[in-house]
Amino acid sequence: MIKELKSLKAAVEKAVETAKDAVELEKIEIEYLGRKGKLTALLKGVASVAEKDRPAVGTLANQIKREVWELLEIKKRELTGGRLSVLGETEREDVTEPGIRPPEGHLHIVTQAIREIAQIFEKIGFMRTRYPEVDWDWYAFESLNMPPDHPARDEWETFFMDVPASEKGKMVLTPHTSNAQVRELERGELPVRMINIAKCYRRQSDVTHVPMFHQFEGLYVDKNVSISHLRGVLNYFAQEFFGSGRKTRLRPFHFRFTEPSFEIDISCGMCGGTGVGGDKQKCRMCKSGWLELGGAGMVHPNVLKAGGVDPKKYSGFAFGWGIERTYMMKEGMRIDDIRTLYKNDLRFLKQF
């Protein structure tokens, strides 16, 4: 048994010495130390050795097994070190070279518009606020001079929430940002110079409407506020946002929460205000050369009263425009379908 152990060790040493790569070394390990390996089989025979010789044979067997493992590990390190050395020479890398930056996203075009609009109004003292986008009927309609059965409500195509009503009426998804007006006045801090930017919801979907959109609501309440102040603010915004080449106009209109009331239009950026598209047909966006941005007017006395403000001492104006529609009219945008903004098409979004 001792002679066989020494002979097997010599065979392992020779095989390991001539091994040229890790694959060959693994085969040697399996051949001698695997479950059915030669050294493993020989060690099982120690139990059949005479009892008086068994301690010496067992000690030698364990020693040879340990030495074989060490031989294999040393050779494995040699082969690995050599391979890494070759790689170091043939595949050398400049660790000081800048890496490849992972792809980065950017703010959505609507978020960019919201920030730009907020900054424009902040320059003239309008503070941005946020009021609920799910609110009571009282703030969305009744406090804005629209009683429960008034036909003016039909214009908003409102989504109602399936929850119990309260003393303030039913709960709705806000169809406009005007619910902020009375909420802001209720704070009792005058004068008010507010810009509320929030989501709105209406049952509409076409090239100029989407069921969820954003509005910015301006409210200015102080003593001796007039239409001249309103015109000044709107003209300032148009010049800052659209540039000097665009025109605006006020059209008399009727809103329940302002008196007098106006629709604010801007010359169409798609057709240059001509009303004629690139195909010589009627402009797909505006149809007439003008695009409605939103409403404006002097705050109705009943709205001031609902907010706890005396209309004999204070007056004010309000305006509300859609963010998406306003941005579509920005110089150079040339977006002819508002729904494109929410299609999540990276080919489109990466342009902005």
Identify the pLDDT of residue 325.
81
At 261 the three-state DSSP class reads strand
Give the residue from 117, 125, 318, 311 showing the smallest Cα distance to 227.
Answer: 318
pLDDT tens, residue by residue, 165-213: 999 999 999 999 999 999 999 999 999 999 999 999 998 888 778 889 9
Mean of pLDDT values over 273-282: 79
| Two tokens, residue 238 | 């148009």
In CATH, what class is 110-349? alpha beta
- What are the structure tokens assigned to 123, written together? 């320059």
Mean pLDDT of 60-71: 79
**Whole-number Å distance between alpha carbons of 290 and 267:** 5
- CB-side neighbour CA atoms (13 Å) of 327: 23
Q: What is the pLDDT of residues 281-321, one digit of tens each?
A: 888 777 788 877 789 999 999 999 999 999 999 999 999 98
**Among residues 9, 107, 25, which one has the least CA distance to residue 60?**
9
Residue 85 has pLDDT above 60, yes or no: no
Q: Answer with the residue of higher pLDDT: 304 or 102.
A: 304
What is the residue whose two structure tokens read 């390990």? 29
Highest average pLDDT, of 10-19, 154-163, 326-335, comes from 154-163
Q: Rounded distance, CA 198 to CA 187, Å?
A: 19
Which of the given ranges, 9-18, 183-192, 238-247, has the highest pLDDT on average? 183-192
For the chain, the structural domain boundaries read 2-89, 110-349
Looking at residue 282, what DSSP letter applies? B
pLDDT of residue 90: 61
User: Which tokens sit at 295?
Assistant: 């409403």
- pLDDT given for residue 200 in this prediction: 93
Residue 266 tokens, joined: 């801007």
Cα end-to-end distance, the chain, whole Å: 83
Tokens of 232: 């000044």
Distance of alpha carbon 238 from alpha carbon 322, whole angstroms: 14
**Which of residues 154 and 129 earns the better pLDDT score?**
129
- Among 56-70, 109-123, 240-254, the minimum mean pLDDT is found in 56-70
Tokens 């665009």 belong to residue: 246
pTM: 0.65
